[in-house]
């Protein structure tokens, strides 16, 4: 079987982000609109629809991006926000490049030649977050994920088994720098660090092997200090429509204690939203993700790369185009004024994986946010 060639797609993308930072930061006048004319949390909420104003209205359901986007919005000076997000991702079917192949093909001696193949994987994420804006210009965001994973397998001799892991993921501290705020449009830069708080030593029982270190995709952390670099653009009409775009890169630094570095990752998203009324908006989003293979290998992983594709550091990279639809609900009055409830679900339109590798089938994110 011809395995897909190894890609290093993220590096060029990350360089592009860095370049756009530099050009944005050095552009004259780009800071001019910052801070002064933002729709402050202290202003009375502008009439949501048809407000006769050129200022960004932060009191609309669609003033936040679809809930699947992180670091999409900034806050006014002194504002706090607490949030909880639940994420679920279902992966099923193996891909080589953009072709789906059967589980039997992966483990057939005349096919992939592996002894074991993953057949399905679920990833759940419980993410709590805190945001605080010390000034109108900078918002701080701290996110702590807890991750629960499960993977089903099929062995060449027909035996099926499931492994599971759960632990904290990598804590993220991101600063959001608002560099433009005028004409109902905003731009901010996302600059942060992902701390190696997640686990790289998850293990479980595997038939025939006993308790053993689980392969790369079942770990909950990267084990490295990673940089978060991105830029976010938001726009809204005075009427019922809004839109946005975000490019976000995750750049790994160094090598973790187990002897490897996960691939860099870059995500580009564009979305649009339509306000049905001043509490409810519907959204549509496209996202392209590209992530690299692993450098080095896990010294503590007893399973050889030839036995199961998940243990091969060169079968982890890929590119995927997703579509997702969702809604934002914003509580404008009463005891929970400022609270938000949001939901988004989607599926891949196309994926091209260094495989055999499990492809994505569908995903969802649900979230609660409360600003005060
Ligand atoms: Cu917030």
Task: Give the pTM.
Answer: 0.85
Question: How many Å lie between the centroid of ligand 1 and the Cα of residue 61?
Answer: 13
Protein residues within 5 Å, CB atom, of ion ligand 1: 81, 131
- The tally of domains found in the chain comes to 1
Residue 246: closest CA among 291, 200, 290, 188 = 188
Averaged over successive runs of 10 residues, the pLDDT of the chain (372 residues) comes to 42 42 39 38 44 81 97 96 98 96 95 96 98 97 98 96 98 98 96 98 94 97 98 96 98 97 98 96 98 97 95 97 98 85 98 96 97 92
Residue 138: closest CA among 206, 190, 72 = 190
Give how far the C-alpha of residue 77 lies from the chain's centroid of Cα atoms, to the nearest Å: 26
37 within some domain: no
33 within some domain: no
Question: How many Å lie between the centroid of ligand 1 and the Cα of residue 328?
Answer: 13
In the block, residue with structure tokens 């490019």? 247
35 within some domain: no
CA distance 288 to 197: 27
Question: How many Å lie between the centroid of ligand 1 and the Cα of residue 140?
Answer: 9
210 within some domain: yes
Question: How many Å lie between the centroid of ligand 1 and the Cα of residue 173?
Answer: 13
2 within some domain: no
Residue 303: closest CA among 235, 204, 221, 234 = 204
90 within some domain: yes
Q: What's the pLDDT score for residue 338?
A: 82
Question: How many Å lie between the centroid of ligand 1 and the Cα of residue 225?
Answer: 24
353 within some domain: yes
Domain that holds residue 285: 9-26+53-371
CATH code of the domain in which 334 resides = 2.40.128.130
CA distance 160 to 122: 16
Residues 1 and 113 sit within 8 Å (Cβ to Cβ)? yes
41 within some domain: no
Backbone Cα Rg of the chain: 22
């Amino acid at each position: 079987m011809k395995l897909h060639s190894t890609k290093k797609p993220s590096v060029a993308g990350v360089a592009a982000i860095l370049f756009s930072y530099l050009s944005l930061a050095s552009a004259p006048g780009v800071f001019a609109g910052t801070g002064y004319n933002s729709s402050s949390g202290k202003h009375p909420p502008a009439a949501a629809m048809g407000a006769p104003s050129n200022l960004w209205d932060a009191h609309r359901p669609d003033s936040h991006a679809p809930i699947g986007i992180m670091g999409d919005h900034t806050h006014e000076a002194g504002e706090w926000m607490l949030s909880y997000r639940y994420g679920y991702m279902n992966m099923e079917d193996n891909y080589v490049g953009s072709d789906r192949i059967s589980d039997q093909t992966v483990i057939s001696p005349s096919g992939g030649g592996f002894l074991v193949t993953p057949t399905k994987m679920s990833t759940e994420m419980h993410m709590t977050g805190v945001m605080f804006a010390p000034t109108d210009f900078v918002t701080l965001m701290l996110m702590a994920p807890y991750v629960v994973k499960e993977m089903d397998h099929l062995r060449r001799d027909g035996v099926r088994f499931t492994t599971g892991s759960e632990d904290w993921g990598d804590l993220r501290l991101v600063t959001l720098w608002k560099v433009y705020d005028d004409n109902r449009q905003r731009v901010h830069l996302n600059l942060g660090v992902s701390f190696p708080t997640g686990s790289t030593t998850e293990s479980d029982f595997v038939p025939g092997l006993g308790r053993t270190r689980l392969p790369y995709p079942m770990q909950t952390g990267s084990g490295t200090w990673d940089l978060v670099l991105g830029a976010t653009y938001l726009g809204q009409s005075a009427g019922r429509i809004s839109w946005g775009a975000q490019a976000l890169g995750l750049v790994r630094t160094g090598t973790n204690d187990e002897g490897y570095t996960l691939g860099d990752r870059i995500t580009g998203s564009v979305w649009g939203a339509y306000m049905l009324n001043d509490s409810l908006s519907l959204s549509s989003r496209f996202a392209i993700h590209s992530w690299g293979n692993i450098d080095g290998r896990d010294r503590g992983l007893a399973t050889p790369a030839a036995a199961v594709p998940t243990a091969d550091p060169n079968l982890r990279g890929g590119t995927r185009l997703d579509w997702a639809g969702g809604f934002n609900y914003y509580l404008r009055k009463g005891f929970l004024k400022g609270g938000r409830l949001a939901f988004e679900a989607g599926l891949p339109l196309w994926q091209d994986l260094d495989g055999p590798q499990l492809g994505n089938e569908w995903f969802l994110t649900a979230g609660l946010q409360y600003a005060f």
